[in-house]
Structure 1
Amino acid sequence: MFDKAILVLRGVGQIAAFLSAMLSRSISFRLKLLRHSLTSSTAPPAGEPLNIVIIGASIAGYHAASTIAANLPPWLGYRVVVVEPRDHFHFTWVLPRFCVVEGHEHKAFIPYAGHLPAGSLDDGPGGAPSKVAWVRDRVASISPTAVRLAAGGADIPYAFLVVATGAGAGDALPNRVPADGKAEGLELLRRMQARIRDAADLVVVGGGAAGVELATDAKSKYPDKRVTLVHSRDAVMHRFGPRLQAAARDGIDALGVRLVTGDRVVSEDKDRRVAVLKSGREIPCDCLINCTGQRPDARLVAALSPASVSATTGHVLVRPTMQVRDPALPNVYACGDVCAPDPEEDSTAVVAQPNSRSAMRQAMVAAFNVLDAAEGRAPSNVYRPNWFDGVIKLTLGLDKSVSSVGDGKTELLFRAKDKDVALMVDGVWKRLGATPFEDDDTFLSKVKTKI
């Protein structure tokens, strides 16, 4: 009983610390602006601004860009340059649900720019560069001083670099939308909905959150459909505590989803309409959906500094300051799913559960350290993986879910009846500064193809 109360209090403390850090920075920045306006008439430095380049604008990169832009003193002569190929923010948590349920797929694509400070994409007085430049492209390579764009090969020099390339590059639905444009992404989701709707024997591979959610959603929406979930481990949700594993198993069984554990799919015979398992077992299958885990997209850092990438997990290894482990690259940071703690810095540190909480905390640390370094101070903000980052809400059909909170010793479950089939995604739109569910081309009109 006391363990659970302590767990809750620690969670509240973590949230309070996060909000306090944001508030402290905001107050400090406003005081700097006030002091500067009272004591100096110096205009921003002439010439081209120094670039703080951020590669990727999923939750980590987008939050880092927003935090830096909101707290960047204009007299320092820096600007934020975001390089991101997609035209909308992809909210990946709802993808398993929207692969099954029709009519809500547009809600997974949130317009960019709303999370940035107002006017930061607009040119300054007299044609001065904007505080934030958004380049719709991919980065082909990085050097110690510049990033090279894939389209046209232009180089963008940087004073600081934040790598937020995430995980799952090349993955397909339901883990990621393999499309840069919203229109193509919507079409891919609708095709997936049709595949699942028309299937008689659906086989889902992978018993992590995406696989469990898609399998239970499909069985909940189509009770007469035969749905099989295949997982190579002995228990679904094996990265989490035993109580969540049991709750997931109960939800799967209650809906009538067939569960195969300790085995894996090795091939699909479409002519015979079967999935073939490693054990030799064959399962009727006319629709196979792969929901297996995602690998960090660390290719750019691996080419620049091979020693900064884990040979076992593929993560970019970072110090607690979110700087990459290579001492020759003190101005290069990484945050989000692409990175993990450097075991040489802390042998007890663990990889954070990939979710928005850990990504945002890492992004905040990286952003604050970049801001400090831009003002000539040594990076001193640190990120430590915390049990609270592992909080998860797992859907088990269209109207049920279970949330899990645990620190490895104590585990709390909160079961709920869900009324919103769209998983309250409107709240995420609002938090990212967008009006649910309105879309316009204002942001796209300010996007650049080069700097």
Structure 2
Amino acid sequence: MFEKPLLVINGIGFGLSTILSLLRHSLSFRLKLLRHFMSPSSPSSSSSSEKPRNIVIVGASIAGYTAARTIAQYLLPNSPYRVVVVEPRDHFHFTWVLPRFCVAEGHEHKAFIPYGGYLPPGSLEADGGKVAWIRDRVARIERDAVTLEGSGEHIPYEFLVVATGSGATDSLPSRVPASDKEEGLALLRHMQRRIKEAKDLVVVGGGAAGVELATDAKSKYPEKNVTLVHSRSAVMHRFGPRLQAAALDGIKELGIEVVMGDRVVNEDKEKGVAVLKSGKEIVCDFLVNCTGQRPDSKLIAELSPSSISESSHILTKPTLQIQDDSLPNIYVCGDVSETNTTHPNTRSAMRQAMVCAFNVLAGIEGKKPKDVYEPHWLDGVIKLTLGLDKSVSNVGDEKTEFLFPTKERKEELMAAGAWHKLGAKPFEDDGSFLSKIKSKM
């Protein structure tokens, strides 16, 4: 009887505590900034004689990007530290819209958001900017440095934030397996063509990506035979029963065939069938794999094997320091971290990134890290599309669920909002970011 009111009260309390924490950090920084400008003997950060001390961030999906932004925002003008971001992609990939853009044509460019706008103004300036951005991959992490894959450059660090995410080896519709925007666009358009031309589409995996791609495809091409194969007894099995039921109802209303408790073991392209573990064969001329992603933890696995969980996540302390006491200056955030977050997503990744950022900022002042990350059910809010014009949002803890069915008016979904959030004007991309980072380096 009281479950829903208590859930609402808990959510409001969590929101207020989060806001108060950010206000506390902001006020503390403003006081430090005031003291800095009032002190006549403040050293200049532009001194050429002092070599910058690096805070290296590996990966610039939402967790790494947020960590870079937060640290750069709170570094004092005279700080000898700089943020060094290592990211191989030329654009931010807005992965939430990928299942939709694998089906709906003409929107694929909206999944690639220009980097740079989310950083504090002037961060990338060649003279005095607080951020250096390197378009490369990290090949190896050592106790005090990282080695780049492309250039072989050895970059020392005083603090390291690992935000390598998950699904690095996955393909569409979960991830775009390309570092260049143009290559990514080509892959999305190829997927659109394959789905459009298919008569018998088989989608493997009943999580969010599989449900959304299958329902979008059937909604756009109702004449197609679409089959969703899921190895569990319910679609959206990581969520509560109300969302599971709503998802299954939406799938069946569109006329999609659902096979649960079975898995695809082989695709026989000559016969034109997908073969299931049970022996059943499903007519198939195009199969899309939407199964789960693996955390990209190999760099830490080489440095500290004991810090890797059975699920290949990186084990962390509540402060998000790696669970290896010999490496107190290494922090981890986002999908690659083991934080017991029930439904990891953008919100949890951003909260973790800010915990890492504020603890790093404390560390450069010689203070112990005191910010901690605690999972909260509000991080698990999900909006699930069930066709081109229908969606359902779900929020709740393990005991109580709220469902909010909505009509989708824009085929591009929330792409424009994501561009705004990351400091870019929808959907304008002049390619200026790459020229800025080249001049910076």
In the superposition, the TM-score normalised over structure 2's length comes to 0.97
Secondary structure of 2:113's counterpart equals strand
What is the aligned partner in structure 2 of residue 339 from structure 1? 337
Q: State whether residues 87 and 182 of structure 1, in contact with CA within 8 Å, keep that contact through their aligned partners in structure 2.
A: yes
What is the aligned partner in structure 1 of residue 234 from structure 2? 235
1:98 aligns to 2:101 (yes or no): yes
Q: Map of 1:244-263 to 2, 5 A cutoff? A: 244-263=243-262
How far, CA to CA, are the matches of 1:184 and 1:136 in structure 2?
Answer: 16
What is the aligned partner in structure 2 of residue 351 from structure 1? 341
Q: State whether residues 340 and 352 of structure 1, in contact with CA within 8 Å, keep that contact through their aligned partners in structure 2.
A: no
What is the aligned partner in structure 1 of residue 111 from structure 2? 108
Structure 1 stretch displaced more, 62-71 or 10-19:
10-19
- Among 312, 319, 335, the alignment partner of 1:314 is 312
Q: CA deviation at 1:201?
A: 0.3
What is the aligned partner in structure 2 of residue 20 from structure 1? 20
Q: CA deviation at 1:19?
A: 2.9
1:433 aligns to 2:423 (yes or no): yes
Q: CA deviation at 1:277?
A: 0.4
Q: CA deviation at 1:297?
A: 0.2
How far, CA to CA, are the matches of 2:439 and 2:375 in structure 1?
Answer: 36
Q: State whether residues 60 and 336 of structure 1, in contact with CA within 8 Å, keep that contact through their aligned partners in structure 2.
A: yes
What is the aligned partner in structure 2 of residue 412 from structure 1? 402
Q: Map of 1:23-422 to 2, 5 A cutoff? A: 23-44=23-44, 46-124=49-127, 128=128, 130-310=129-309, 312-341=310-339, 350-422=340-412
The one-letter amino acid paired with 2:134 is V
Secondary structure of 2:31's counterpart equals helix
Secondary structure of 2:322's counterpart equals coil
How far, CA to CA, are the matches of 1:189 and 1:449 in structure 2?
Answer: 31
Secondary structure of 2:253's counterpart equals helix
Q: State whether residues 126 and 439 of structure 2, in contact with CA within 8 Å, keep that contact through their aligned partners in structure 1.
A: no
Identity of aligned residues (%): 66
1:53-75 per-residue CA deviation (whole Å, 9 max, x = no partner) reads: 00000000000000000001232
1:105-162 per-residue CA deviation (whole Å, 9 max, x = no partner) reads: 11100010111000110022xxx5x310000000000000000000121110000000
How far, CA to CA, are the matches of 1:2 and 1:352 in structure 2?
Answer: 23
Structure 1: tracts of 5 or more residues without a match: 342-349
Q: State whether residues 137 and 449 of structure 1, in contact with CA within 8 Å, keep that contact through their aligned partners in structure 2.
A: no
Q: State whether residues 316 and 338 of structure 1, in contact with CA within 8 Å, keep that contact through their aligned partners in structure 2.
A: yes
The one-letter amino acid paired with 2:61 is S
How far, CA to CA, are the matches of 2:213 and 2:298 in structure 1?
Answer: 29
Q: CA deviation at 1:449?
A: 10
How far, CA to CA, are the matches of 1:13 and 1:277 in structure 2?
Answer: 48
How far, CA to CA, are the matches of 1:141 and 1:395 in structure 2?
Answer: 39
Secondary structure of 1:74's counterpart equals coil
How far, CA to CA, are the matches of 2:67 and 2:40 in structure 1?
Answer: 29
How far, CA to CA, are the matches of 1:74 and 1:143 in structure 2?
Answer: 29
1:369-407 per-residue CA deviation (whole Å, 9 max, x = no partner) reads: 000001111000000111111111111001111111111
Secondary structure of 1:76's counterpart equals coil
How far, CA to CA, are the matches of 1:432 and 1:351 in structure 2?
Answer: 24
Q: CA deviation at 1:29?
A: 1.4
Q: State whether residues 136 and 449 of structure 1, in contact with CA within 8 Å, keep that contact through their aligned partners in structure 2.
A: no
How far, CA to CA, are the matches of 1:11 and 1:109 in structure 2?
Answer: 32
| RMSD value, Cα | 1.3
Q: State whether residues 63 and 333 of structure 2, in contact with CA within 8 Å, keep that contact through their aligned partners in structure 1.
A: yes
Q: CA deviation at 1:448?
A: 4.2
Q: State whether residues 124 and 440 of structure 2, in contact with CA within 8 Å, keep that contact through their aligned partners in structure 1.
A: no
The one-letter amino acid paired with 1:304 is L
How far, CA to CA, are the matches of 1:205 and 1:430 in structure 2?
Answer: 33
The one-letter amino acid paired with 1:395 is T
Q: State whether residues 205 and 291 of structure 2, in contact with CA within 8 Å, keep that contact through their aligned partners in structure 1.
A: yes
Q: State whether residues 244 and 413 of structure 1, in contact with CA within 8 Å, keep that contact through their aligned partners in structure 2.
A: yes
Q: State whether residues 373 and 379 of structure 1, in contact with CA within 8 Å, keep that contact through their aligned partners in structure 2.
A: yes
Secondary structure of 1:140's counterpart equals strand
Secondary structure of 1:162's counterpart equals strand
How far, CA to CA, are the matches of 1:22 and 1:187 in structure 2?
Answer: 41
Number of aligned residues = 438
What is the aligned partner in structure 2 of residue 345 from structure 1? none
The one-letter amino acid paired with 1:214 is L
Q: State whether residues 301 and 307 of structure 2, in contact with CA within 8 Å, keep that contact through their aligned partners in structure 1.
A: yes
Q: State whether residues 135 and 450 of structure 1, in contact with CA within 8 Å, keep that contact through their aligned partners in structure 2.
A: no
Q: State whether residues 205 and 289 of structure 1, in contact with CA within 8 Å, keep that contact through their aligned partners in structure 2.
A: yes
Secondary structure of 1:75's counterpart equals coil
Secondary structure of 2:384's counterpart equals strand
How far, CA to CA, are the matches of 2:186 and 2:336 in structure 1?
Answer: 28
What is the aligned partner in structure 2 of residue 344 from structure 1? none
Secondary structure of 1:239's counterpart equals coil
Secondary structure of 1:166's counterpart equals coil
1:76-102 per-residue CA deviation (whole Å, 9 max, x = no partner) reads: 300000000000000000000000000
How far, CA to CA, are the matches of 2:307 and 2:44 in structure 1?
Answer: 36
Structure 2: tracts of 5 or more residues without a match: none
The one-letter amino acid paired with 2:17 is A
What is the aligned partner in structure 2 of residue 347 from structure 1? none
